[in-house]
Structure 1
Amino acid sequence: MDTQEKQRIQTAFQEKMDYDELMNCTRCGFCLPSCPTYVETGRNEVHSPRGRIALMKGLVDGVIEPSEEVKESIDLCLGCRACEPVCPSGVNFGRLLEQARDAIYQSKKPTLPEKVMKGIFLKNIFPQQNRMIGLTGLLSFYQRSGAQKLAQATGVMKLFPETMRTMEKVLPTVPKRAEMKERPRHLQPLHTTRKKKVAFFSGCLMDTMFMKTNDATIKLLQYAGCEIVVPETQACCGALHGHSGELDQAREMAKRNIAAFEEAEVDYIITNAGGCGAFLVEYAHLLKNDPDWDERADRFCAKIKDITRILVELDFHKQPLSLPEQIVTYQDSCHLKNGQKTFMEPRQLLESIAGVKYVEMTDASRCCGSAGIYNIVQSKMSMQILDYKMEQAMNTNAKTIVTANPGCLLQMKLGIEREGLSQVMDAVHIVDFLLAAYERANDNKKATKQVAAAQV
């Protein structure tokens, strides 16, 4: 970093950081054992929440200068927010991290990879769902045309880093472009009376690459007694922008989504991706200084609810649910647990399925190392964290690892592939798992009735 760049970063820290929040940290150290990067770096204080807060405060106070070492510490943070629930002072570390990244990345000259990622993906693709459909449509063509098999057979994939090669193998089968465009916007309950009217936040990646999981979510809500509205003008939640130091663009995404959902007049806004949901509930903080949007953001945030929470509230776990006998474990989505405070509901739903033996893995709520695009930009640390996670999962003897976030899902599939366990273990999003359990139980119920009727 040259002198001018250092000065810009230091000024940005002084302008953007919430100094009162920095001062809330009492340096007690309760956060240390909960931080994956602190543990995995051999208890290096620089890579702990307490250490990072000290660096942020030092920059604001002018005690230390911006450096590559400071940037490395901020970049290496997963943003999992596991430090927040254990903090006796209630420090909102996730907000401080976003402010710090905003200060750094809006003040320094970007590298070429950063320019590409932000210019193409964050600014031009994720905010425009039609472009997301176009991009994932290319991936669908790659998978269906035989190009994927050819790339794997000819060794072309060996040109890419190991993590990306393995990730390419575990990507879901992407729907055709036409399927992604034909999305329902208003649905009624199935086989039951209406209990709630909800809006569904479909997301960007979730409604393209993981469209089948979105379809399963909608079906579960229908079975649970919900009328569902899916606003057409909704957009990407902005989480990747916020976590990458693009807070201004994240605010624009927030405004688009608030406006899109205001007209729906629903009881709740339902999400099925832990990372998206945790960022959506932060809109009130994101727009707190905007007098035109602060109250609208408060109303929006008050309605956000994860799919597992509403299913439990509507007693979905008391309906017939069954699957073939198997051991199942659950990997917490960091942002679902630490951001949305949703922890028991997924477990309650899994434990209600006949045929399923639920076994809690050690450190189920410790980050899996996915963290948005962390497993690409910080691959070494991500794989180190994933190796620990897979060790805990294997100790449960589970056939299925269930999770509640697309990034976690791909990371666990990546771990299964790396361990050579793809023939005996699988990773599944919880809504896909629950839908299979519901439909199997109810198909069995119908079959039993038909047999009884035939015998009469």
Structure 2
Amino acid sequence: MTTTKQREVIQEQFKERMDEDQLLNCMRCGFCLPSCPTYIESGYQESHSPRGRIALMKAVVDGLIEPDEDVERSLDLCLGCRACEPVCPPGVNYGHLLEEARDIVNQNKTHSLPVRALRKIVFKDLFPHQGRMRTLTGLLGVYQRTGLQNFMHKSRLINILPENMSTMEKVLPKVPTLKEMKNRPNHLDALGTRKKRVAFFSGCLMDTMFLETNNATMKLLQVAGCEIVIPETQTCCGALHSHSGEKSGAMELAKRNIKAFEDLQVDYIISNAGGCGAFLIEYDHLLKDDPEWSERAKAFANKLKDISAVLVELELQHKPIRLPAQIITYQDSCHLRNVMKTSKEPRQLLQSIEGIEFIEMKDADRCCGSAGIYNIVESEMSMKILDTKMAHTKATHATTIVTANPGCLLQMKLGIEREGLSDRVRAVHIVDLLAEAVEYAQKA
């Protein structure tokens, strides 16, 4: 909720902070419309398209409209998938406009007490502190291993949760023990001849809930000939903060990460999560106005690569990798494709696996509806988008759905569960599948 005074402040900050050149660069051509999931699923409402949202931002800057609830609603409903950017003729950087607008609105509105408390816990007390992330994830592991999860399902107490939340609970990965999460390496040698020295961005959720995927990532890098450094002082990438209107928190996390990685003398900094990688690679934009950090951020961003790009460069696709016969399809991570410009490399790796048939999914580059916590806070729209995605997935007859981001992975698992396909279809992160293929080929 915003008061009249708050709306005046928001309007003034829009004038001061929004990039008017980017706003003016939008030609209103409409090339972005077919690529925007919320425009399509809302019944082609202009206010829920990139072009419409830019028009609203510009109107606020020009004083033609107030930054009222309708403007805020339009911004909130955006997935931030940035599929509009690759198809935009003048190259408007819509994602930067969206995050700046969200930060202005969020920092100048009055949240309810429960929302303020929740935001403080999530953005200040939890995600920036990896030890606390491990503890919380460890509690989830206790819930899974002690029989409490089975009790919740058998007693149907789980049905107290909203339907999509109770379904999401079913598809969460098996969480490692607290001991396993704490026992993490900080250096690994290459297997065989060393070709590259790389640093690994382990992330917060990736190094707790998705620990096995991180382990598989490091195994693949070693097989490909990489010496790996994993700095202990790294922290959350800050993407969730920035997407949720907490820009200052994101900037602080960025500085901590830059400091953790900058003196390691590595060829690349490796990410295995599309959402994290896309935010990390834009640290130079995030800190562009900070004279102490702008060049350091640029040096950091220039070394950032997705795991699939490095594996292709080091020719993992030419090594013996094999799986039992199955049909595989690939769902792009929006940010990996649209921000990191990495789409062909995952496909090259998948198509190099002997024994499988790769089928391209219709609109594989369209968002699955996960978008960080979007599937929780905007459940209705998220499920509409997911339903469309699952229709395209089923048309491939794939038994394995591959993606490259933890949020996408959980969303596709959610879709599988909702469609009643869990007995014959699986969703898997690309590095887990590749590690499986390497191991299977070694045993053959």
TM range (shorter): over 0.9
Q: CA deviation at 1:34?
A: 0.4
Q: Which residue is 1:403 aligned to?
A: 403
In the alignment, the residues of structure 1 paired with residue 114 and residue 268 of structure 2 have an alpha-carbon distance, to the nearest angstrom, of 39
Most deviating of 161-170 and 115-124? 115-124
Name the SS for the 1:73 alignment partner. Answer: helix
Q: Deviations over 1:249-304 (max 9, x none)?
A: 10000000000001211000000000000000110000111110111011100000
Q: Which residue is 1:327 aligned to?
A: 327
Name the SS for the 1:86 alignment partner. Answer: coil
| Superposition CA RMSD, Å | 0.8
Most deviating of 325-334 and 64-73? 64-73
Q: How does 1:117-156 map to 2 (within 5 A)?
A: 117-156=118-157
Q: How does 1:443-454 map to 2 (within 5 A)?
A: 443-444=443-444
Q: How does 1:44-123 map to 2 (within 5 A)?
A: 44-123=45-124
In the alignment, the residues of structure 2 paired with residue 104 and residue 111 of structure 1 have an alpha-carbon distance, to the nearest angstrom, of 15
Q: Which residue is 1:12 aligned to?
A: 13
Q: CA deviation at 1:78?
A: 0.1
Q: Deviations over 1:99-149 (max 9, x none)?
A: 010010000001345323311011110000001001101111111111111
- For the 8 Å contact 1:12–1:107, the answer to whether it is kept is no
Name the SS for the 1:84 alignment partner. Answer: coil
In the alignment, the residues of structure 2 paired with residue 124 and residue 301 of structure 1 have an alpha-carbon distance, to the nearest angstrom, of 27
Identity %: 65
In the alignment, the residues of structure 2 paired with residue 189 and residue 227 of structure 1 have an alpha-carbon distance, to the nearest angstrom, of 5
Q: Which residue is 2:170 aligned to?
A: 169
Q: Deviations over 1:360-396 (max 9, x none)?
A: 0000000000000000000000000000000000000
- For the 8 Å contact 1:237–1:279, the answer to whether it is kept is yes
Q: Which residue is 1:202 aligned to?
A: 202
Which segments of 5 or more consecutive residues in structure 1 lack a partner in the other structure? 445-456
- For the 8 Å contact 1:337–1:343, the answer to whether it is kept is yes
Which amino acid in the other structure matches residue 138 of structure 2?
A: G
Q: Which residue is 1:259 aligned to?
A: 259
In the alignment, the residues of structure 1 paired with residue 364 and residue 27 of structure 2 have an alpha-carbon distance, to the nearest angstrom, of 28
Name the SS for the 1:53 alignment partner. Answer: helix
In the alignment, the residues of structure 2 paired with residue 203 and residue 16 of structure 1 have an alpha-carbon distance, to the nearest angstrom, of 30
- Counting matched residue pairs gives 443
Q: Deviations over 1:343-369 (max 9, x none)?
A: 100000000001110000000000000
Which amino acid in the other structure matches residue 309 of structure 1?
A: A
Q: How does 1:402-421 map to 2 (within 5 A)?
A: 402-421=402-421
In the alignment, the residues of structure 2 paired with residue 432 and residue 66 of structure 1 have an alpha-carbon distance, to the nearest angstrom, of 45
- For the 8 Å contact 1:46–1:73, the answer to whether it is kept is yes
| TM-score normalised to structure 2 length | 0.99
In the alignment, the residues of structure 1 paired with residue 112 and residue 314 of structure 2 have an alpha-carbon distance, to the nearest angstrom, of 49
In the alignment, the residues of structure 1 paired with residue 288 and residue 10 of structure 2 have an alpha-carbon distance, to the nearest angstrom, of 24
Q: Which residue is 1:365 aligned to?
A: 365
In the alignment, the residues of structure 1 paired with residue 118 and residue 403 of structure 2 have an alpha-carbon distance, to the nearest angstrom, of 27
Q: CA deviation at 1:11?
A: 1.9
In the alignment, the residues of structure 1 paired with residue 4 and residue 196 of structure 2 have an alpha-carbon distance, to the nearest angstrom, of 58
Q: Deviations over 1:132-179 (max 9, x none)?
A: 001101111111111111111112211111110000000000001111
Q: CA deviation at 1:15?
A: 2.4
Q: Which residue is 1:448 aligned to?
A: none
Q: Which residue is 1:272 aligned to?
A: 272
In the alignment, the residues of structure 1 paired with residue 117 and residue 389 of structure 2 have an alpha-carbon distance, to the nearest angstrom, of 31
- For the 8 Å contact 1:198–1:228, the answer to whether it is kept is yes
Name the SS for the 2:269 alignment partner. Answer: strand
Q: Deviations over 1:35-91 (max 9, x none)?
A: 000000111000000000000011111100121111110000000000000000100
Which amino acid in the other structure matches residue 265 of structure 2?
A: E
Name the SS for the 2:259 alignment partner. Answer: helix
Q: Deviations over 1:402-426 (max 9, x none)?
A: 0000000000000000000000100
Which amino acid in the other structure matches residue 82 of structure 2?
A: R
Name the SS for the 1:386 alignment partner. Answer: helix
Which segments of 5 or more consecutive residues in structure 2 lack a partner in the other structure? none
In the alignment, the residues of structure 2 paired with residue 146 and residue 348 of structure 1 have an alpha-carbon distance, to the nearest angstrom, of 42
In the alignment, the residues of structure 1 paired with residue 221 and residue 429 of structure 2 have an alpha-carbon distance, to the nearest angstrom, of 15
| TM-score normalised to structure 1 length | 0.96
Q: CA deviation at 1:189?
A: 1.1
Q: Which residue is 1:160 aligned to?
A: 161
Q: Which residue is 2:393 aligned to?
A: 393
- For the 8 Å contact 1:17–1:96, the answer to whether it is kept is yes
Which amino acid in the other structure matches residue 166 of structure 2?
A: R
Q: CA deviation at 1:12?
A: 2.3
Which amino acid in the other structure matches residue 106 of structure 2?
A: Y
In the alignment, the residues of structure 1 paired with residue 223 and residue 295 of structure 2 have an alpha-carbon distance, to the nearest angstrom, of 33
Which amino acid in the other structure matches residue 99 of structure 1?
A: E
